[in-house]
Amino acid sequence: MNRDEKTLILFKPDCVRKNLSGVILQRLLAEGFRLRGIKMMQLDDAILREHYAHIIDLVIDDKPLFPTLSSFMQTSPVVALVLSGPGVITRVRSILGPTNSMKADKGTIRGDFGTNSMLNICHASDSPESAEVEIKRFFKPEEIFDNVD
């Protein structure tokens, strides 16, 4: 947990539409994480297919999940950010709470602001390997600032 690492966070459309981006960012920065990159962007089918490739064929209740998820993720821009700090991946996921906001405790971001498994405010990388891939997917190298301390 003492190893400095980076993670990708996406403030999803429900977060952006509820105007919670500043509140959520403040909660994350209050934990001592360092902001290394941030931008607002409109996602398209290509980046969403790449980002959600691991669930592209997932079916829930006899309906494919990806078309609904892709449609939702394009309803507004998202805010993408890179945070760094010791154990940031595990710590951010703990601060967010479980993916299903209905199972998240009050005091977690999803417990306080989320609605369900899709409307859950944020995406966060789940491992150092996925963080590395996801950061490269959403940020160019020159958009990451490691020298800001």
Q: Which residues are catalytic?
A: 123
Tell me, what DSSP letter sits at residue 105? P
How far, in Å, CA of 92 to CA of 126, rounded?
A: 9
Q: How many CB atoms lie within 10 A of CB 68?
A: 12
Q: What is the dihedral of CA 81, 86, 90, 95, to 10 degrees?
A: -70
Cβ neighbours for 29, distance < 8 A, ≥ 6 positions apart: 35
d(CA 87, CA 119): 26
- What distance, in Å, lies between the first and last C-alpha atoms of the chain? 20
